Each structure stands twice: as structure tokens, then as C-alpha cells.
Amino acid sequence: MSIFRRSDRSAKTPEPVKIAWASNVAEAELIADILRQEGIPSLIKRNKGFDVPDFLAAGARDIFVPASAAEQAKQILADLQSTGEDTPAS
């Protein structure tokens, strides 16, 4: 009998959810900033297929948010797309 137990990490902290992608780092920063202004933390990661060190700013990026905020983040981005605006309405 072991006194050590394995903990189920997925039960404690849900993994971030990918909610969008951008074609370059500038676009990814814009999306992340929009979400942060709405109070949603975000994480930008280089897309696995575009890891070219010589072109650090080039290549696709994935934008992740906490699972609990994924639906709200998707709605914010969808609203922006439908209105054609670059920044959220205040």
C-alpha cells in the first residue's frame, strides 16, 4: 500500500482552449489585446507547423484562453467580425 497518490491534474486546472489563430505575430497581439481589454487573459503560441527561427515575427500563431472564458472570447471576436471593426465598441 502506497501513501502517495497520483493526482489528476486535469481535474484541478483545465487546459487553455484555442479560440483563434492569426497569420502573424502583429495580428495575434491585436487579438490578444482586444481580449485582455475585455478582461480575458490570453496566451499566444507559435503554430507548430510554422517554427522558423530566422523569421521570428512571421508565421501563424494560435490564441488560447482559459476554458471558462472560451465562449465569451469567441463571442467577442465574432461580434467584431460581424461589425467589421478593429476595436470593440465602448
For the domain covering 14-81, report its CATH number.
3.30.70
Is 18's pLDDT higher than 90?
yes
Q: Where are the domains of the chain?
A: 14-81
* pTM for the structure as a whole: 0.70
Average pLDDT of every residue of the chain: 81
Give pLDDT tens digits for 30-72.
Answer: 999 999 999 999 999 987 766 666 666 677 899 999 999 999 9
**Angstrom distance (rounded) from CA 78 to CA 69:** 14
Alpha-helix residue ranges (DSSP H) falling in the chain: 9-12, 25-37, 70-83
